[in-house]
Structure 1
């Protein structure tokens, strides 16, 4: 019922939980004193033995305790709030740190939808669990024992009856928990599945509309939403029924305590003052446990959310590399490299040398393994066989931070963030001045296009939705150039853009190698872009079938030459048709 691992993680938050329990307990003590004062006032008045002095004292003490209880209640609320804030902050930091430790390959182990749900709804569930449920759980055990410790002095039988009835509520809670655990497992499975489906359909909405499949997608969403509605109603029904049972137990227990108190009073075994105290405090035996019952279902959700988060935090992490690559030459060597997705090899026994300062192109038809090589170099996929070295160091043993500082990758899916043009460019070089930024935009023929829109202050939409595909890709190239890393990977960076933008980008890519001495790997399906490469590797079904310069491969008249001639003929035909 309490996640000890969570408590150990929340060092600061645990202190707030302890303080919230203390303030609740002090509030109970104040309540007992208030009841004691009023019981003595009523008892003394009934017996005609209450003088003015004692009346004033009792009223003063009662008023002081009422004020104190208000203060304790406020302090409890503040402590609860601080505990909630701490658990949200700490857990989100833990999730984020785990993502950093998993590195760029995290998507192979957990979906973006799950991360979003954990960081959002999952952590929010923990807020109430940690801020309210845990403290209430401890207080619900402490309160009856405190009351028994005081009331048994007045009448042992009535105090025992009240104390014995209290555990009936946690027994009910434990029974409900067994039923609820399986139901909540199913609930969260459906909930996360719905989130995955929704995000997938949202990201692919344009594609769905192009193929007129948005209606079918909406129907699929309706089916999953209906499943979620049904499981939600089952959870709510279970919660309502268990709440009714706990209410019955609580009120029945209080009723038994009241009946016992009255019978003991009538039998002469209890004074009027004692009877009044029992009558007024009998509900206090059950209210904390009853309130725990109301938090219970929220607590169960919190515990399941914690399980999901801990399951993510316990994912095996790739062994962190220790080597740094801070000095050249930045050559890259593949020796007998193979890699498989789901046991099916995507690349097979690849061996190739990429010398520092070379422009090397990797080509082939779709599915031949080109992008897999790029993902291996970026450490997005680590479980390869064979050897990959960068600047003389085995790739597996290079720290991700060091590799990322030495390597910049630009792909078709490079992301433009919501913010100004300046903000996006500063990702490449945070301290670059405006003159540097403008010059880099001019280099890519972007400045004249962006200046009328606001220049560096132009506000870009999420994903660069308010600029063209060519402008977006050139902006990504500009950001990459600002980083000025020794190694560049361009993975289909010129796909799906206009010819003018493609020519500008290819001119920059060639300059990186020829004039600036960068190691450049160009992955492209369009062979016209790789003609001036120092070395070309032709892939087919995951294997290198040919390698050499463009002229050498054309003379071989093999797979490369065949594909090049087909593309050349198709482009000439399209040009003539225009």
Structure 2
């Protein structure tokens, strides 16, 4: 069970594995020397011809060999630690680098929950494989051969019998390997499914409580947990049964070695010291292989995890021979743009859009019409589109992701704020920004006064800034975006689900920004897009109409119907209240 690709991936661990094996072999050699000394002493005592200096010599040998074994055991443990450290560091770096190469579109190919489980639990499973299983594998091959050579000088028949019994353990391991591999593959699949369900329920716990749907989700998770329990019990049963078989072979082989030693002594084919030596070393023939068997099931689990790791590392990347930088002239043009999340369900149907440099363009329409999908394509998150999408005449696919994200800032209604301080979050937009610049941008979004009443730039933020209101979170997200100071800004429902005052402040800043930057505004509230230079109205993945606010109202089409409906709702009761 040697995975050449896995070992090649973590080539640094090879020297630690070799060092581990050498130290274990030195410990074995010291043990053999100690057994030689002790058995000769016992034989001398039995025959009554032991000199006093022999006792001192044997005692010194025992002390010295015990010291050597202690140092070798300590050194082998150190080698195991270094090997485990190397594999964790290397594989997690490879996973991280792979995610960076996949870019923001990685979610199209792999779930975040699976990435987390593979990078954490999956890599941890390989700690035993590199730190214990591989060194033990090579030592288990070397130890019986060493003992065989030594005992051949004592009694050849006994040495042969012991050596012949040793391969029965790996034969037993091989017998369960195919079954174990399938079982552990199912185990990891179910483990991932359970983790995904748990993460989703944890993230949506508040929503479940609000709609009193927690009982239903609890039952759903119990079903997944029961499936995981059953597959876990099957794995444990397989491990217990195979360990029992290996124990029978190991101890049975050692017992057979003892019997051979006694019969050979009875037949005067071996001396008393030789007989005792065979008895004392018989177990050492099987213990390394038995220990290998105990690591086998954990190693198999690690191998199943490595399959998932390499599946992640082997995901196709969108590589281009030429990687262009974001052009200075950055008119954005989408021609016959098509996109599908699923093969048989197209979301965008040949959309044509233009976002001239320095323009203020809005995308509106009912939910599910494809507005946010367009934004995701422009940000490089959705790559599997058809048609042509160019920036300054350069195909979007040819622009490096780093350059794209450096020049296009995306602000959604769920912009992520990290646990830390206000300063930490703001400086993500501009790491070199001074405190004066930070306060200036906070003042622009009307958040400075509130923060001065708290702890200023050192005001702590909890995870997702849960200690701030929704409006304050969006203001802070906008302040960070303003610090990024990119040529293009995309606001995707950035004023959804916040208070009116925050919405007005944010929209006022967006309108100021639109005078000097290219701004694309996606909004469900049409009152926010009235000042846009051009408005695209999307319906079922197609552009139904486009133009300025006044032009669209004159067309008496979809935009006018949406506008009239929203105005009626927003003004409902106002006239009655006036009367």
TM-score of the aligned structures, taking structure 2 as reference length: 0.97
- Alpha-carbon separation, structure 1, partners of 2:469 and 2:510: 20
Task: Report the alpha carbon displacement of residue 182 of structure 1 after superposing the two structures with TM.
Answer: 2.0
Find the counterpart in structure 2 of residue 125 from structure 1. 125
Cα pair 2:326 2:404 within 8 Å, conserved: no
- Alpha-carbon separation, structure 2, partners of 1:81 and 1:489: 48
Cα pair 1:363 1:523 within 8 Å, conserved: yes
- Alpha-carbon separation, structure 2, partners of 1:3 and 1:388: 43
Cα pair 1:355 1:519 within 8 Å, conserved: yes
Higher mean C-alpha deviation, range 50-59 or range 254-263:
50-59
- Alpha-carbon separation, structure 2, partners of 1:304 and 1:186: 9
- Alpha-carbon separation, structure 1, partners of 2:573 and 2:382: 38
Q: Deviations over 1:272-307 (max 9, x none)?
A: 121111111000001111111111111111111111
- Alpha-carbon separation, structure 2, partners of 1:219 and 1:341: 30
Task: Report the alpha carbon displacement of residue 44 of structure 1 after superposing the two structures with TM.
Answer: 2.7
Find the counterpart in structure 1 of residue 421 from structure 2. 420
Cα pair 1:420 1:459 within 8 Å, conserved: yes
Find the counterpart in structure 2 of residue 381 from structure 1. 382
CA shift in 2, pair 1:164/1:574, >3 Å: farther
Find the counterpart in structure 2 of residue 528 from structure 1. 527
- Alpha-carbon separation, structure 2, partners of 1:244 and 1:280: 23
Task: Report the alpha carbon displacement of residue 574 of structure 1 after superposing the two structures with TM.
Answer: 5.9
Is residue 151 of structure 1 aligned with residue 151 of structure 2? Answer: yes
Find the counterpart in structure 1 of residue 450 from structure 2. 449
- Alpha-carbon separation, structure 1, partners of 2:376 and 2:320: 17
- Alpha-carbon separation, structure 2, partners of 1:222 and 1:339: 37
Find the counterpart in structure 1 of residue 369 from structure 2. 368
Task: Report the alpha carbon displacement of residue 179 of structure 1 after superposing the two structures with TM.
Answer: 2.1
Q: Deviations over 1:478-507 (max 9, x none)?
A: 101101011111111111111111111111
| DSSP-derived class of the 2:452 partner | helix
Aligned structure 1 segments of 4 or more residues deviating by more than 4 angstroms = 574-578
- Alpha-carbon separation, structure 2, partners of 1:320 and 1:96: 21
- Alpha-carbon separation, structure 1, partners of 2:278 and 2:321: 68
Find the counterpart in structure 2 of residue 547 from structure 1. 546
Find the counterpart in structure 2 of residue 220 from structure 1. 220
Q: Deviations over 1:64-105 (max 9, x none)?
A: 121111000000001101111111111111111111111111
| DSSP-derived class of the 2:369 partner | coil
Find the counterpart in structure 1 of residue 437 from structure 2. 436
Is residue 45 of structure 1 aligned with residue 49 of structure 2? Answer: no
Find the counterpart in structure 1 of residue 495 from structure 2. 494
Task: Report the alpha carbon displacement of residue 143 of structure 1 after superposing the two structures with TM.
Answer: 0.7
Task: Report the alpha carbon displacement of residue 575 of structure 1 after superposing the two structures with TM.
Answer: 5.1
Query: Over the residues paired in the alignment, what is the CA RMSD in angstroms?
Result: 1.4
| DSSP-derived class of the 1:573 partner | coil
Unmatched tracts of structure 2, length 5 or more: none
- Alpha-carbon separation, structure 1, partners of 2:452 and 2:36: 79
Unmatched tracts of structure 1, length 5 or more: none
Find the counterpart in structure 1 of residue 62 from structure 2. 62
| DSSP-derived class of the 2:304 partner | helix
Cα pair 1:325 1:391 within 8 Å, conserved: no
Find the counterpart in structure 2 of residue 7 from structure 1. 7
| DSSP-derived class of the 1:180 partner | helix
Cα pair 1:320 1:400 within 8 Å, conserved: no
Cα pair 2:420 2:460 within 8 Å, conserved: yes
Task: Report the alpha carbon displacement of residue 54 of structure 1 after superposing the two structures with TM.
Answer: 4.3
Is residue 166 of structure 1 aligned with residue 151 of structure 2? Answer: no
